Structure 1
Amino acid sequence: MSLINSESTLDEIKETVLSLLNRAGNDPKSAYRYIVFNTLSDDFPNARYVVLRKFDKIELELYVYTDYRSDKIHEIEANPRVSILAYDKQKKFQIKLKAQATLHYKDEISNHHWNSINSGKESYNTELNPGKPIESITEGHKLKPEIDDKYFTVIKLKIQFMEVLQLNKEGHIRAKFDFENNNEAFLVP
């Protein structure tokens, strides 16, 4: 079953996608909960899955979490323009976003998110930096003596551009939404 069809308007498509992202920020079972987050490193684009923790439908902002010591922090500091890719295999529906990333570390936003976490705080409390070479797997699981928000970071992603693609036997549907220039259109798939 397709999410959009040839009768769908641009406004309906936009509302559908924003609702999907909003649901993903609240529902761990959503197909869009785990998204591919792309930054630019020195040599190549750098892609990894992250968890969509929250979506603000009014402000068009996604929130994801990371460890302040991770490579993505340095990449965002060098170039805050990022992209996100999400796909629902069942619905055959792709969402591609371009966004401006803002880091929140040891501020009101990061404190609010830290206090809302029920489980998983250990992920931001390893003794060693993410990505550091280790001799054994267990080395990477060693935690600091105290679980705290010392390295916890929230990445706020302000959507500037959105493109969607619905794969469909009757004909694929593609549309773009440029929020920066207030421009939207259907595209040739």
Structure 2
Amino acid sequence: MIFGKKEKISTLDDVLSSSWKSLHKGVRNFRHPFYRPALATMDGNKPDVRTVILRGFSDKDRTLICHCDARSPKVSQIQGNPDVSWLFYHPDKWLQLRLSGTARVHTNDKIAESQWKKVSLTSRINYCSRTSPGSPMGKASLAPSSFLRDKAPKLLDHPEARKNFAVIVCRFDQMDWLLLKLTGHIRAKFHWEDDRIDASWVIP
């Protein structure tokens, strides 16, 4: 089975190796399709999904990391129900990757502090707003004068921005890998329980 120009996939181990490589690339390269996955949470009994930026991945710990505003709805949603799902899609390879597990929000601990140090100055501005994400506003975007009044002065105010910063860490225990092909789709499923893995090819 040929995957891409050089990568060959013929076993379930190949699927895992290929998936880990793509996820690591998604963290390092903002042009990679896996850089912007979709994260789904539960808002009561309704699903809620949005695009996030993949900030970290560990194949050893099976963890995915993204950042968010601590006041955003997804934070309270995860605190109420930690079950989440991630969707990655590579349009050139026609590859879909779904990862499911449990998430935890970090705000005032070593994990949050470590991630905060990686946030650039230009990105820290996203955590300087006086109002919470999703709050109503009168215009489609902030005018330059509003920007200068509301956010820019706080760029150097480390505590003000830092208190609005949160890290979402998900440990996944299920993965669904689907390769779309004109000659026939190929799909594999993985389930981890402690250190044991159950993997199999399944009907697409």
TM range, smaller chain:
over 0.9
Query: Partners in 1 of 2:21 and 2:101 — Cα distance?
Result: 18
C-alpha RMSD over aligned residues: 1.8
Q: Which amino acid aligns with 1:157?
A: C
Match of 1:125 among 99, 124, 128: 128
Equivalent in the alignment of 2:154: 146
Deviations 1:59-112 (A, max 9, x none): 111110000000001100010000011111111000001021011102111111
1:121 is paired with a residue whose SS is helix
Matched, 1:51 2:53: yes
Q: Which amino acid aligns with 2:59?
A: K
Q: How is 1:1-189 mapped onto 2 (pairs within 5 angstroms)? A: 2-3=3-4, 8-118=10-120, 119-136=122-139, 137-138=141-142, 142-143=150-151, 145-147=153-155, 148-180=161-193, 182-189=197-204
TM-score when normalising by structure 2: 0.86
Query: Partners in 2 of 1:24 and 1:33 — Cα distance?
Result: 4
Displacement after TM superposition at 1:2 (Å): 3.3
1:32 is paired with a residue whose SS is helix
Contact 1:52–1:64 (8 Å) recurs in 2:
yes
1:154 is paired with a residue whose SS is strand
Which segment drifts farther, 133-142 or 112-121? Answer: 133-142
Q: Which amino acid aligns with 2:39?
A: F
Contact 1:25–1:55 (8 Å) recurs in 2:
yes
Query: Partners in 1 of 2:128 and 2:176 — Cα distance?
Result: 36
2:33 is paired with a residue whose SS is coil
Query: Partners in 2 of 1:160 and 1:74 — Cα distance?
Result: 22
2:39 is paired with a residue whose SS is strand
Which segment drifts farther, 115-124 or 101-110? Answer: 115-124
Contact 1:127–1:144 (8 Å) recurs in 2:
no
1:28 is paired with a residue whose SS is coil
**Structure 1 runs not aligned, ≥5 long:** none
Q: How many residues align?
A: 188
Which segment drifts farther, 66-75 or 120-129? Answer: 120-129
Seq. identity, %:
28
Q: Which amino acid aligns with 1:26?
A: R
Greater share of residues in helix: 2
**Structure 2 runs not aligned, ≥5 long:** 156-160
TM-score when normalising by structure 1: 0.93
Q: Which amino acid aligns with 1:132?
A: S
2:60 is paired with a residue whose SS is coil
Q: Which has the larger radius of gyration?
A: 2
Query: Partners in 2 of 1:172 and 1:43 — Cα distance?
Result: 32
